Amino acid sequence: MADELQNFVGGQWTDTSFDRRADIIDPSTGEVYATAPVSGATEVDAAFAAAADASGAWRDATPSERSLALIKIADALEARASEFVAAESKNTGKPVALTLSEEIPPMVDQIRFFAGAARMLEGRSAGEYMTGFTSFIRREPVGVCAAVTPWNYPMMMAVWKWAPALAAGNTMVLKPSDTTPASTLLLAELINEFVPPGVLNVICGDRDTGRLLVSHPVPQMVSITGSVRAGKEVAASAAPGLKRVHLELGGKAPVVVFDDADPEKAAEAIAIAGYFNAGQDCTAATRVLAAPAVHDEFVDALVEQAKGQVTGGPEVEDAAFGPLNNANQLERVSGFISRLPDHARVLTGGHRQGSRGYFYEASVVTGLEQDDEIIQNEVFGPVITV
């Protein structure tokens, strides 16, 4: 039986008012292991009502009270690290060892950072504009915030959204990606042990749910991490209400290898930066510009690095990366390779690995031109072009 996930609203698990549910798939097996609600207007309204109800008291809490709450959350997350890693690895297919070492420590540190920042907010003198009056800038919470997080780093991206918002005295409604809600829901339950009900609410859903979230009249700020397309939609929907927006959007991350570089060391570093998390990273080193004097030697070294990458599911301890997150992403990466122009060459990789799960080989492609599709678009997979 698949687990039935629920929304977390107003400090409690909530039933949905309809029967629409989405399958949650383990990317390392391709099998359904849970279902989650596809929230509609009723659920979005309820979540924002809870956030609005909690906003006044949380806004008026002292910085020291909010800071202490975040410190307690960080301590609890650190103590329960294995539980959260298990949830994240099941939902994303990421290797357990890497998730434990590369994600939990920075998450805990980030929460503690914002716990400290909560007590450092200050106003500045704005100068004297009228005789007998003193002007200054007073920092106040925005109010209720809406946030949408992606599937490549569900837990970490959630921390980047809620931790600064809560530290500053805001409340939040957060929607995780429809393919990776599990760890975020678990995080919401932990957070609500230390903050009043309604300060953080998590609802599950698809793109339509996200649209309802960002266009809702209650939130005064919207933050998303997603595609350029999604960013344009959010900016447009936020404009009529003059909502503040925070948009972290996808893009290419080119790396330049100069003539005086050590090709072996450069290849090793770029392979780590390009293949980590199966290349599903906004800053993945997926495009390399190598100078003529080192180009051929560098390419040979990078091919060897790619061939040495170990892929595997959550329990493979020496895996460099796990599967792609979902079937659509596997199709996207495969499509870029299948549509390569005749002048391009796949030097290694370029294929799906096995028939179980969404694994893809570490790949190196060369011979490309600036206008080629794979150069102009973010692949978001373990493919490095040179």
The residues carrying an active-site annotation are: 248, 282
Q: Which of 315, 339, 312, 308 is nearest to 323 (CA)?
A: 312
Give the span between the Cα atoms of 111 and 115, in whole angstroms.
6
Strand 287-290 to 254-257 pairing? parallel
**Angle of CA points 273, 274, 280, to nearest 5°:** 105
Find the Cα–Cα–Cα–Cα dihedral 90, 93, 94, 100, rounded to 10°.
10
DSSP track, 345-382: EEEE--SB-SSSS--B--EEEES--TTSHHHHS---SS
Give the span between the Cα atoms of 247 and 233, in whole angstroms.
11
> Which amino acid is present at 125?
S
Q: Which residues pair with 173 in a beta bridge?
A: 146, 201
* Element at 319 (helix H, strand E): none
**79 by DSSP, 3-state: which?**
helix
Cβ-Cβ contacts under 8 Å for 6 (sequence gap 6 or more): 13, 14, 15, 16, 37, 185
